[in-house]
Amino acid sequence: MTAAVGQLSPAAVREPWDGGSRLFAAGGRAGYAGHLAAYGPLPGHEPRGTLLAQLQASGLTGRGGAAFPAGPKLAAVAEAGGAARYATRPSGPVLIANGAEGEPLSFKDATLLHNAPHLVIDGLLATAQSVAASAIYIYTAAGNLDVVAAALAERPDAAGVILTESPDAFVAGQASAAVNFLETGRAIPVDLRRRLADSGFKGRPTLVQNVETWAQVALIARYGADWFRAAGVAGDPGTRLVSLSGDVPAQQVLEVPGGAPLTDVLATAGIRHDAVAAVLVGGFHGRWVRPEGVVLSVDEGAAGLGAGLAVRPGAGVLHVLGPGRCGLAATADMVDYLAGQSARQCGPCMFGLPALADVMRRLAGGGSGGSGRGGAGAGAGVAGPPLDPGLVDEVGRLSRLVSGRGACHHPDGTVRLIASALEVFADDIPWHLAGQCNSGHAGHAAVGLAGVRDQPGRVPAEGGRR
């Protein structure tokens, strides 16, 4: 508790997982007063570098998907900002809170912004002060603008924060796409010559972090690295928000500690283990797993500690596939969606993903007369003509062809999803090739894509609490 400077002693903040939430400690839809009451004021003028040191020591990783360590990222920006201090043009670092949440199965960022916007703002302001930032942006989807604007308006210190609406597109949340959008109005990724930390928005050092990461920064700024590390495991300290969807009793956002066993998380949400065939971890760029023995951790080395298979939580999506659902069909729907979300500027992505979607669609369609969509009946064992066994090889060939060949990681993420599907649903493939699917095809996509996004439950006031 070395750096606990807030009025509130860290002990007064309920520990997460053992009966409380860090990020939602101020309750649902917390206003500024409630926020201050729960967390205390943001520590004032800290000696330069204190926040950075605490952040480095905390081991916080980005919560947007790539899980890049937040400390080194801030250090790079601070260093570039320091070097540019004597430049003639305004050149201080630019801070961007990325709440675009293009991932269709994710709603934890929206939940956070609706319920604890002040933590996000605190994280930005504390960092802005420590690196002498020249601009602060919150970039988020249309549905979150009003609450964030209200939060900005009700506090005295946030006049400099600029709120910008992000387009509703999968790649709009990619860091270089966010910067590109703020500069040019086009939310598509760019081929970076230099790191954003060195030269991002208008050539200034730029730090793009997911909104949840900024909220965690706010907590570390108040309570310090040791407090942060009290939750989670050494290789993945702190807590993270996950969006739980799919064949579940209720879609909800949970706050879970790093290294949490997946079965425990599902049990917390009241999901019996026999109600789960597989879980998509991390979102459309994540991977399918069978939950037994899986821990959610950014530290893939954790597997060696007897903790089970460590799976990176990515954007924090947990999407449950119930028994009787066809994983290949669900994956094919997702690849279809991803192919449609290519920014269509990099050849291998623009042509390769539709080709992959096509092959996956055919593979998934085995057993339902080739379409796989539109619900070929809920019954098991739907029969259709046998498929070309070369389809699986073609998936592999196209995957190798597109991976690593784009200006962003969209092709790589798509390939990762497909590879995990072929692995986890390997037993289903021979059946599909023979023209039989043992699961129904009852429009999984309806749950996967439309269901989540259009839910008013995207902002569950109590979603994060347990």
Instruction: Tell me how far, at minimum, the Cβ of 347 lies from other proteins, in Å.
Output: 4
* Alpha carbons 177 and 346: distance in angstroms, whole number: 14
Query: Which lies closer to other proteins via its Cβ, residue 22 or residue 319?
Result: 319
- Give burial (CB, 10 Å; 0-12/13-18/19+) of 390: exposed
Residues of this chain, 313-352, that bind ligand SF4 according to CB under 6 A: 342-346, 349-350
Count of chain residues binding ligand SF4 (CB under 6 A): 15
Q: Which of the choices other proteins, ligand SF4, none does residue 379 contact, using the CB cut-off of 5 to 8 A by kind?
A: none
Q: What is the DSSP string of 42-102?
A: PP-SPPTTHHHHHHHHHT-B-SSSS--BHHHHHHHHHHHHHHGGG-SS----EEEEEE---
Query: Which lies closer to other proteins via its Cβ, residue 31 or residue 354?
Result: 354
Among 75, 254, 356, 408, contact with ligand SF4 (rule: CB under 6 A): 408
* Alpha carbons 26 and 6: distance in angstroms, whole number: 15
Instruction: Tell me how far, at minimum, the Cβ of 401 lies from ligand SF4, in Å.
Output: 13
User: Where are the alpha helices (H) located in 201-310, listed in sequence order?
Assistant: 211-229, 262-268
Instruction: Tell me how far, at minimum, the Cβ of 346 lies from other proteins, in Å.
Output: 3
| Of 367, 378, 381, residue with least CA distance to 442 | 378
* Alpha carbons 315 and 242: distance in angstroms, whole number: 8
Query: Which lies closer to ligand SF4 via its Cβ, residue 169 or residue 461?
Result: 169
Query: Which lies closer to ligand SF4 via its Cβ, residue 188 or residue 318?
Result: 188
195 binds ligand SF4 (CB under 6 A): no
Q: Which of the choices ligand SF4, other proteins, none does residue 448 contact, using the CB cut-off of 5 to 8 A by kind?
A: none
The site for other proteins (CB under 8 A) is made up of: 189-191, 333, 336-337, 339-340, 345-352, 354-355, 357-358, 373, 400-401, 403-407, 445
- Give burial (CB, 10 Å; 0-12/13-18/19+) of 24: buried
Q: Which of the choices ligand SF4, other proteins, none does residue 410 contact, using the CB cut-off of 5 to 8 A by kind?
A: ligand SF4
Q: Is residue 178 a contact partner of residue 75, using CB atoms and an 8 Å limit?
A: no
- Side by side, which strands form the sheet with 135-140? 161-165, 135-140, 94-99, 206-210
411 binds ligand SF4 (CB under 6 A): yes
DSSP state of 447: I
Instruction: Tell me how far, at minimum, the Cβ of 404 lies from other proteins, in Å.
Output: 4
DSSP state of 446: I
Q: Is residue 459 a contact partner of residue 252, using CB atoms and an 8 Å limit?
A: no
Q: Which of the choices ligand SF4, other proteins, none does residue 352 contact, using the CB cut-off of 5 to 8 A by kind?
A: other proteins
Query: Which lies closer to other proteins via its Cβ, residue 115 or residue 176?
Result: 176
Residues of this chain, 135-194, that bind ligand SF4 according to CB under 6 A: 171, 188-189
Instruction: Tell me how far, at minimum, the Cβ of 405 lies from ligand SF4, in Å.
Output: 8
Q: Which of the choices ligand SF4, other proteins, none does residue 336 contact, using the CB cut-off of 5 to 8 A by kind?
A: other proteins
* Alpha carbons 201 and 175: distance in angstroms, whole number: 11
